[in-house]
């Protein structure tokens, strides 16, 4: 009777979870596996695969009164080729097929996928050349190195979903939700015994209509980021991928600041982001916080002289190591976006598209092989802007439970 009371989709997720983890539960560890093709001169190509299967159980949303509503879909799914040409030159080309099976009425993040699952597209394509630890040159299509929550790879989050600084700043900087743009970046990492420094400086050629308008005025996007790490650093060498958790091993604090700036297009005369972030990993404790200011001076004569939106996140996790080096990770996140105060009553800034959003998320991750094989169970509640909800109010409450599976090679 108890089993019958659980939604069928949840039972399917639980069954798949047990199949995936049966080897671990009986004391048999998963073997390491990498599809690697060797090249000459210490080079290689790795075939990479990553997906998250979400089972969103909608408990409340202003879009429908038909709840609970079950939605099983691929929240994120990626395929890529990465590796190195030689000891100095690395590359990565990645593709995405996110949102397969996504319900348009589900309150969870992600774009619905109704068009015969036609979502396969380029996600990243870049080349990095290492001159030294302090001089690493990256060129291609990738995330500008500003706003840390946006830079994080989704596979290495401690929360189930990313915080708001992942979303609105991307629209503000490059106009597209995936947050990528063509350009180049110079970065470096200096590791010391007690203090380490990471920096990035970038130049990007924006082309999205939300940024360039009619494209009459060419204006590059400039970015800069600086991180001071105290104690254990977040990384061993310079790279473009970071982990939010210290997995119970790191004892260090990272303090970061960043800025992006674009002078003028046909839509604005000044488009700027500046922010600060902190990451503490101390034994079993992980704490991350970020606050971002999004400034824009629209060129529309009917617009205010300037607008200032805000986006923030704070999240924490506690890691319990269990047998076979597995980790139970208890997580809590609070995140939000607030449009300029001039637009509070309508809950959206029409000149930046920043809309009101507030969310609490509580959850548990079972890291079977770190983030390579991870099961999650999360509860999410919040209030956000809805453009056309039935009662005519600008905001509405959403609430859902999310069992999930993440796998990557």
Q: Concatenated DSSP letters for 286-325? A: EEEEEEEEEEEEE--TTS-S-EEEEEEEEEEEEEEE-GGG
What are the residue ranges of helices labelled H in 51-157? 148-151
- In degrees and rounded to multiples of 5, residue 2 shows phi and psi of -65, -40
d(CA 138, CA 238): 11
pLDDT recorded at residue 297: 94
pLDDT recorded at residue 301: 81
d(CA 203, CA 223): 7
Domain ranges of the chain: 2-408
pLDDT recorded at residue 361: 98
3-class SS at 22?
helix
pLDDT recorded at residue 45: 94
pLDDT recorded at residue 349: 94
Residue with tokens 């979303």: 167
pLDDT recorded at residue 28: 39
pLDDT recorded at residue 390: 63
pLDDT recorded at residue 296: 96
How far lies 233's CA from each of 68, 122, 346, in Å? 44, 32, 43
pLDDT recorded at residue 302: 79
Q: Which residues of the chain have pLDDT under 70?
A: 1-34, 390-392
pLDDT recorded at residue 323: 87
Would you say 202 and 226 are in contact if contact means Cβ atoms under 8 Å apart?
no
How far lies 133's CA from each of 187, 237, 398, in Å? 9, 7, 46
| Residues contacting residue 28 through CB under 8 Å, at least 6 positions apart | none
Number of helical (H) and strand (E) elements in the chain, helices listed first? 5, 17
- In degrees and rounded to multiples of 5, residue 182 shows phi and psi of -80, 140
Residue with tokens 């607008």: 307
3-class SS at 30?
coil
| Residues contacting residue 138 through CB under 8 Å, at least 6 positions apart | 126, 127, 128, 129, 184, 185, 186, 187, 240
d(CA 380, CA 336): 13
Residue 342 DSSP symbol: G
Would you say 30 and 22 are in contact if contact means Cβ atoms under 8 Å apart?
no
For every residue of 62-75, DSSP letters joined together read: TT-S--SEEEEEEE
pLDDT recorded at residue 5: 43
| Residues contacting residue 279 through CB under 8 Å, at least 6 positions apart | 148, 234, 244, 253, 254, 256, 286, 287, 288
CATH number belonging to domain 2-408: 2.40.160.10
How far lies 250's CA from each of 213, 234, 253, in Å? 45, 8, 9
CA–centroid distance for 79 within its chain: 17
**For 357-396, how does the pLDDT look when each residue is reduced to its tens digit (9 = 90+)?**
999 999 999 999 989 999 999 999 999 999 877 666 799 9
pLDDT recorded at residue 257: 98
The residue among 334, 348, 337, 341 whose CA lies nearest residue 386 is 348
pLDDT recorded at residue 14: 42
pLDDT recorded at residue 392: 67
pLDDT recorded at residue 4: 44
């Amino acid at each position: 009777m108890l089993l019958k009371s659980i939604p069928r989709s949840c039972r399917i997720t639980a069954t798949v979870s047990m199949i995936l983890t049966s080897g671990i539960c009986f004391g048999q560890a998963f073997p390491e596996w990498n599809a690697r093709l060797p090249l000459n001169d210490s080079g290689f190509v790795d075939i990479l695969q990553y997906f998250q299967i979400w089972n969103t159980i909608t408990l409340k949303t202003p879009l429908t009164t038909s709840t609970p509503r079950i939605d099983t879909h691929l929240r994120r799914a990626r395929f890529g080729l990465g590796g190195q040409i030689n000891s100095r030159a690395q590359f990565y080309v990645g593709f995405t097929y996110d949102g397969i099976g996504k319900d348009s009425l589900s309150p969870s993040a992600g774009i619905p996928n109704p068009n015969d699952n036609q979502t396969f597209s380029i996600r990243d394509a870049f080349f990095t050349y290492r001159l030294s630890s302090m001089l690493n040159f990256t060129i291609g299509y990738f995330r500008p190195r500003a706003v840390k929550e946006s830079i994080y790879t989704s596979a290495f989050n401690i929360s189930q979903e990313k915080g708001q600084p992942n979303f609105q700043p991307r629209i503000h900087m490059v106009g597209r939700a995936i947050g990528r743009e063509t350009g180049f970046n110079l970065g470096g990492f200096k590791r010391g015994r007690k203090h380490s420094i990471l920096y990035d400086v970038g130049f990007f050629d924006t082309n999205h209509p939300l940024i360039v308008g009619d494209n009459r005025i060419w204006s590059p996007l400039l970015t800069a980021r600086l991180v001071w790490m105290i104690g254990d650093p977040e990384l061993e060498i310079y790279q473009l991928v970071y982990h939010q958790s210290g997995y119970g091993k790191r004892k260090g604090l990272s303090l970061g600041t960043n800025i992006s700036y674009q002078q003028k297009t046909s839509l604005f005369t000044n488009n700027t982001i500046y922010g600060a972030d902190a990451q503490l990993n101390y034994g079993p404790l992980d704490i991350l916080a970020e606050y971002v200011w999004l400034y824009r001076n629209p060129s529309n004569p009917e617009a205010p002289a300037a607008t200032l939106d805000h986006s923030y996140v704070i999240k924490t996790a506690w890691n319990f190591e269990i047998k076979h080096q597995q980790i139970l990770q208890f997580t809590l996140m609070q995140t939000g976006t607030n449009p300029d105060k001039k637009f509070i009553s309508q809950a959206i800034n029409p000149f930046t598209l920043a809309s009101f959003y507030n969310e609490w998320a509580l959850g548990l991750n079972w890291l079977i092989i770190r983030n390579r094989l991870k099961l999650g169970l999360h509860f999410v509640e919040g209030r956000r802007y809805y453009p056309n909800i039935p009662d005519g109010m600008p905001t509405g409450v959403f609430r859902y439970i999310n069992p999930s599976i993440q796998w990557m090679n």
